[in-house]
């Protein structure tokens, strides 16, 4: 009895780019940030900033005043991959063998099942990397690219909120969040996309503290999907798995965070196919991803 995996090849060949996009661009954080496609290796984020000088009306132009400044911040993407070999004969010894109909194994379609599993795993890996990644680090678990926490530091101009550093407890988490809100620059307070990102654990700690402190005034209705608002503000609180295991929080407007990828390159692929030469199923998934921040000075952190 043989396991005919022709369906796997057919499935992934038809939707290869669709699966690449799904695995790279559909993570939770990516719903809120700026996505820049077509980055082959590195590209500059061009930023224009001008300072006009307002004066009393008069004839002529006189001496020029004010300035227009062009700035650049480079975004570097890392080329990542998953390459694996799978022997279908081992399936017969486990629960998957029950799915193989005697003499009719062509009805078994593991392609979609495998593809969805890889998509979910890559999405999760990307979430951690775009937040906690430190390129080439020997100390961090996530080493494939520099994440937002690398770019958002006081050294780079971000605002370190006072009285908001860990350890966080039920007694101080509200004060820690309020300190970050108080540190938000007035220039962006009127934006509608201000977001405080934190881990799922901190989110639970924070919302539990709100329920206790507000004596049922805060009922958590907006938190069914680990998304809520800081009471009395328009700032959204979003829990992301990318910060799980970390006590760090980051507050800025969503469009200020940038994720670069390619998705226009034939090198980016999502293939699960049967190799007749090697008599095995092969997985070859290629993608590129990197992060940057337009204005670190508009980011508030607690570290």
pLDDT of 72: 75
Residue 171 has pLDDT above 90, yes or no: yes
Among 22, 32, 75, which residue's Cα sits nearest to residue 287? 22
Give 36-76 pLDDT, tens digit per residue.
988 988 888 776 666 667 777 777 666 666 666 667 788 99
pLDDT of 191: 96
Query: Are the C-beta atoms of 115 and 272 separated by less than 8 Å?
Result: yes
Beta strands in 168-279 (DSSP E): 194-198, 227-229, 236-239, 250-253, 257-261, 269-275
Q: Could you give the CA distance from residue 3 to residue 194 in angstroms, rounded to a whole number?
A: 52
- What does pLDDT average to over the chain? 83
Give 229-242 pLDDT, tens digit per residue.
999 899 999 999 99
- Long-range contacts of the stretch 172-178 (C-beta < 8 A, 24+): 173/202, 173/205, 173/206, 173/209, 174/206, 174/209, 174/210, 174/213, 176/249, 176/302, 177/206, 177/230, 177/237, 177/249
Could you tell me the CA-to-CA distances from 201 to 67, 156, 238 in Å, in that order?
46, 27, 12
Residue 277 has pLDDT above 90, yes or no: no
Q: Phi/psi at 190 (nearest 5 deg)?
A: -90, 0
* Token pair in block for residue 302: 């607690």
pLDDT of 271: 85
Higher pLDDT, 245 or 216: 245
**Kind and range of the H or E element at 120?**
helix 110-132
Could you tell me the CA-to-CA distances from 56 to 53, 60, 63, 65, 68 in Å, in that order?
10, 12, 14, 13, 20
Give pTM, 2 decimals.
0.82
pLDDT of 2: 53
How many C-beta atoms lie closer than 10 Å to residue 108's C-beta? 19
* Residues 6+ away with beta carbon under 8 Å from 190: none
Higher pLDDT, 113 or 184: 184
Give 94-147 pLDDT, tens digit per residue.
444 445 455 434 333 466 778 888 999 999 999 999 999 999 999 889 999 999
Looking at domain 159-259+296-301, its CATH class is alpha beta
What single string gives the DSSP state of each residue in 200-212? HHHHHHHHHHHHH
Among 107, 108, 36, which residue's Cα sits nearest to residue 74? 36
pLDDT of 33: 96
Q: Could you give the CA distance from residue 22 to residue 159 in angstroms, rounded to a whole number?
A: 34
User: In the chain, what are the domain boundaries?
Assistant: 6-51+67-99+107-143+265-288, 159-259+296-301
Give 240-272 pLDDT, tens digit per residue.
999 999 999 999 999 999 999 988 666 678 888
Percentage of the chain exceeding pLDDT 90: 53
* Token pair in block for residue 167: 């350890």
């Amino acid at each position: 009895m043989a396991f005919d995996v022709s369906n796997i090849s057919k499935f992934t060949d038809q939707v290869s780019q669709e699966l690449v996009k799904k695995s790279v661009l559909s993570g939770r954080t990516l719903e809120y940030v700026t996505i820049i496609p077509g980055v082959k290796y590195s590209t500059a984020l061009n930023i224009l900033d001008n300072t006009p000088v307002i004066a009393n009306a008069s004839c002529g132009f006189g001496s020029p005043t004010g300035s227009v400044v062009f700035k650049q911040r480079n975004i570097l993407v890392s080329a990542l991959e998953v390459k694996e070999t799978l022997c279908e004969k081992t399936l017969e010894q486990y629960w998957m063998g029950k799915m193989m109909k005697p003499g009719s194994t062509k009805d078994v379609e593991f392609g979609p099942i495998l593809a969805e599993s890889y998509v979910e795993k890559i999405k999760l890996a990307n979430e951690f990397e775009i937040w906690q990644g430190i390129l080439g680090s020997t100390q961090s678990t996530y080493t494939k690219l520099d994440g937002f926490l690398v770019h958002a530091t006081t050294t780079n101009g971000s605002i370190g909120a006072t009285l908001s550093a860990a350890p966080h407890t039920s007694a101080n988490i509200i004060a820690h969040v309020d300190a970050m809100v108080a540190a938000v620059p007035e220039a962006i307070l009127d934006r509608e996309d201000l977001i405080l990102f934190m881990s799922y654990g901190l989110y639970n700690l924070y919302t539990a503290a709100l329920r206790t402190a507000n004596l049922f005034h805060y009922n958590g209705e907006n938190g069914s999907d680990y998304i809520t608002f800081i009471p009395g503000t328009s700032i959204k609180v979003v829990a992301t798995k990318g910060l799980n295991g970390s006590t760090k929080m980051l507050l800025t407007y969503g469009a200020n965070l940038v994720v670069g990828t390619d998705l226009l390159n034939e090198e980016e692929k999502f293939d699960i196919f049967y190799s007749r030469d090697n008599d095995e199923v092969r997985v070859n998934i290629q993608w590129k991803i990197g992060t940057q921040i337009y204005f670190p000075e508009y980011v508030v952190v607690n570290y």
